[in-house]
Structure 1
Amino acid sequence: MKPFGKKTALDDVSLQEKVTAPSSVILNEEDINKIATLKDSNKNVKRETKPSDNSSENNTDLNGLLLDTKLQETKILIFNDLIDAVELSQLTNMVDEEVRDEISDVVSEIIVMRQLILSASEQRQVIESICDDVLGLGPLEPLMNQDDISDIMVNHSGKIYIERNGKIELTEITFRDNAQLMNICQRIVTAVGRRVDEASPICDARLMDGSRVNVIARPLAIDGAALTIRKFQKQKLTLDDLVFYGSVSKQCAQLLEVIGACRLNILVSGGTGSGKTTLLNCLTNYIDTGERVITCEDAAELQLKNPHVVRLETRPPNIEGSGEITMRDLVKNCLRMRPDRIIVGEVRGSEAFDLLQAMNTGHDGSMGTVHANNPRESISRIENMIAMGGFNLPSRILREQISSAVNIIVQATRLRDGSRKITHVTEVIGMEEDIITLQDLFTFEIEREDENGKLIGKHVYSGLRPSFWDKARYFGLESKLNNAINISQN
């Protein structure tokens, strides 16, 4: 075993002195052999239970992830000894697998010296739980490894909810106390150069895998820090996947493929948790590989496969209140970076005006998402954001800017049964007097509810000819567009 931090080898008296073992215990050759056996056993267990993306274990009952009260007390005892024996701050210089091996070795020594009686399964549980505390997100780590969980919502240290298959569930998993929860929050935000404390109690961040994180701490969160994690799919979804899951029909997906490829300006609209970012990711699959794409996000989570991508992220102010880089700063700077397309992860402020300007000045195919419940409301939201940003433009001029900039609105909706659907594919046609004219190409119509509460419906084509037909012909996509429409009409 390689010593790290403080020395951990048994031939060094420091570990034996630091671990308060019974006074009658003297490590003999049998004890040394027992430790070696435990080390080998624990390493074998770790290899056998290493998470796999395709493992059915990802969907196990959450109760199986909990340590019982006695085992939790044993874990705390071992963890306290581990802190005394190891300089945990020095583990950051090692890769995770090396750290897990070292922790496993030290825990094996502690188990023998304290004469703890644990089965192989219990030893594995304790080691994995300690490694999660040291390296990962503590009690949240098993939830992060479950592919069917999309959101993790920590109300406070004693109450953790998840969203699974569109339904919200209360788990029995808890943090040890608010201090442990706050420590995990600090670890997350520090990794991306941000901070959360009483002076700055709200923070948006992201995990290394792209999952989106929001933290709100005391004094704003009265019961202790609240943590929300929007997990991101390990595998980037495609429109074919959305067809498979029933979120969109095959014909509507073919239309969206044409829309993404022929450089139409797209606004993806939807409520919280409706799948806006996932849908935006799907549409980017059809961007030509030769195009230069620049993305602007508060917390980077888009997963573009294009080779020519520049990813930008906002920055909050520092402790002195200076150094903030807003979304509007990023969008304005994009215009100096020779982009073909600009993609804004979420439009929610005055940057809406700059995005419209970009769409109207040769950056065709730009995209963004907005929080709204229907296509008409998304137009109003953009209008309101620009007005609240201090732009004193007459309503008609502002609406003309919007109608000339935005070509397509795709509405994503989370239905009451928890399913996510694309409910509208809507064109922005132009202006009639002072009103922006919209026409639906596809809508989702609910037909009935089955005995399990699942909403059954279908995507219906309106029969209207898309106004971007000439543009589709220009990009060589006329036959694909015609095919999508003809199939829908039959």
Structure 2
Amino acid sequence: MGYVVDDMMGFGPLERLLADDDVSDILVNGPQKVYVERGGKLELTDVSFRDDQHVMNIASRIVSAAGRRVDESTPLVDTRLADGSRINVTIPPLAVDGPTITIRKFPKEDLTLADLASRNTLSPQMAELLRIAAYLRLNILFSGGTGAGKTTMLNAVSREIPANERIVTIEDAAELRLQQPHVVRLETRPPTLEGTGEITMRHLFRNALRMRPDRIIIGEVRSDEALDMLQAMNTGHDGSMSTLHANTPREALTRMENLIAMSGVQLSTDFVRDQLKEALHLVVQISRMHDGVRRVTSIAEVVGMEGNTISMQELFVFKRANGRVGEDIVGEFQSTRTMPHFIDRAKEHGLDEAIRDILVGNG
């Protein structure tokens, strides 16, 4: 009986997957191909739809709940449910083999840095360093692949921002869960069917600068708003944070350069790199490894220029002891025992000894 009600009123076969707290992602590739991610690993489920039209009906119901529609004129919809879960629906002719539904479920729990340390995502020492970095208003970029846990990490670090600061968040789909009392959340708007009314990340960023923010947090830098963020970081908005798709800290900086080039503003490479060097303090690299565990593989500091290349130094790294596919990964988080350049800023707050203890005393 429950299945009939779900099919008539709810999201059909997906209802029990949406209710399963162990499921983080739901991937519908076709009527008989419904996958989920549990514990960082994909698996095929026994959930099925009757046919493509059944998938289409449920997809339409999902996007309708978010005030959107999917049809031949709008064959691709990116939106979110009321609980914050991210939804992507793609239908023919864009999806060649039939309609697809991708759901990134919104986690019910608010993880702290201590929670992530207990899950072996990072060490307690790394967590303490990031806690201090947030307090010191360092500009932090969280880098990693899809599903690596960048937003989760940003949320955890953002909890360390003092409660008396005004924070403006900018996102394509609202995922950030800041705990502070003074938060203004902004979200982009897609164009209408007539192609008008679009509000981009760049529009929102420029508006945010007029809202007297103490910090600006961008859910993900993915286009020309990178230039605006860079300028904001260099003009008094310290403590800003964002995420970025990249596989290494060095690649993250290169990707930032490329995104800034997309802005259409003619800037020399040397100027952009000099601005990046001044703006960014830390790049936190996160990876989802083949054993399903998400780990911080590097915390790297941007320290200056060597010739025309931005120089970086790692403060923490994850050293793998083994790495065969199919086996649990064994390794340890290690301090490089290198003193960061922001030690002087820490000294102003009486935190320089704490940083020395983190990197050397407990390294």
Smaller-chain TM-score bracket = over 0.9
CA distance in 2, matches of 1:343, 1:208: 22
Aligned-pair distance for 1:163? Answer: 1.0
Residues 292 and 451 (structure 1 numbering): CA distance in 2 closer, same or farther, change over 3 Å?
closer
Map Cα deviations across residues 42-70 of structure 1 (whole Å, 9 max, x no partner).
xxxxxxxxxxxxxxxxxxxxxxxxxxxxx
Give the whole-Å Cα distance in 2 for the aligned partners of 1:422 and 1:256: 11
In 2, Cα distance between equivalents of 1:262 and 1:474? 10
Structure 1 or 2, whichever has the larger Rg, is: 1
Gap change, CA 1:451 and 1:369, over 3 Å in 2 = closer
Work out whether residues 160 and 173 of structure 1, in 8 Å CA contact, stay in contact via their aligned partners in 2. Answer: yes
Q: For residues 258 and 64 of structure 2, what CA distance do their matches in structure 1 show?
A: 34
* Aligned mate of 1:428, from 295, 302, 306: 302
Could you tell me whether the CA contact under 8 Å between 1:194 and 1:316 is conserved in 2? no
The alignment status of 1:442 with 2:280, answered yes or no, reads no
Cα distance, 1:449 vs. partner? 4.8
Question: Displacement of 1:392 after TM fit?
Answer: 1.3
1:228 paired with 2:102, answer yes
Question: Of 168, 171, 175, which residue of structure 2 is paired with 1:301?
Answer: 175
Map of 1:218 onto structure 2: 92
2:69 aligns with 195
Question: Residues 11-160 of structure 1 correspond to what in structure 2 (within 5 A)?
Answer: 126=1, 128-160=2-34
- Report the more deviating stretch, 135-144 or 436-445: 135-144
More helix by share: 1
Could you say which residue in structure 2 is the equivalent of 1:480?
A: 354
One-letter amino acid of the structure 2 residue matched with residue 324 of structure 1? E
| Cα distance per residue 1:236-270 (max 9 Å; x no partner) | 11111111111111111111111122110010000
User: How many equivalent residue pairs?
Assistant: 363
Cross-structure match for 1:182:
56
Match for residue 388 of structure 1?
262
Moved over 4 A (4+): 449-452
Give, in angstroms, the shift of residue 477 of structure 1: 3.3
Q: Which runs of 5+ in 2 are unaligned?
A: none
User: Is 1:276 matched up with 2:150?
Assistant: yes
For the structure 1 residues 164 and 429, does the alpha-carbon distance in structure 2 shift closer, same or farther, using more than 3 Å as the test? same
Q: Amino acid of the residue matched to residue 195 of structure 1?
A: R
- The CA RMSD over aligned residues, in Å, is 1.6
**Is residue 204–residue 298 contact of structure 1 (8 Å, CA) maintained in 2?**
no
The answer to whether the 8 Å contact 1:450/1:456 transfers is no
Report what 1:363 is aligned to.
237
Higher relative contact order (CA 8 A, sep 6+): 2
> What's the TM-score, normalizing by structure 1?
0.72
More deviation, 254-263/374-383: 254-263
How high is the sequence identity, in percent, across the aligned residues?
52
Identify the residue that residue 418 of structure 1 maps to in structure 2: 292
Q: Residues 201 and 474 (structure 1 numbering): CA distance in 2 closer, same or farther, change over 3 Å?
A: farther
Whole-angstrom distance in 1 between the partners of 2:128 and 2:351 = 11
| Paired residues of 2:315 and 2:359 also in contact (CA < 8 A) | no
After superposition, give the CA deviation of every residue in 1:454-489 in whole Å (9 maximum; x if it has no partner).
010001111110111122233443343233224433
Partners of 2:209 and 2:290 in 1: how far apart?
41
Q: Is structure 2 residue 215 aligned with structure 1 residue 341?
A: yes
SS in 1 for 2:321: strand
Q: 1:462, 1:347 → 2: CA distance?
A: 29
The yes-or-no answer on 1:162 pairing with 2:33 is no
Q: Is the 8 A contact 1:188 1:205 kept in 2?
A: no
Q: Distance in 2 between matches of 1:392 and 1:193?
A: 39
Structure 1 equivalent of residue 224 of structure 2: 350
Distance in 1, Cα, partners of 2:125 & 2:145: 24
Which structure 1 residue ranges, 5 or more long, are not aligned?
1-125
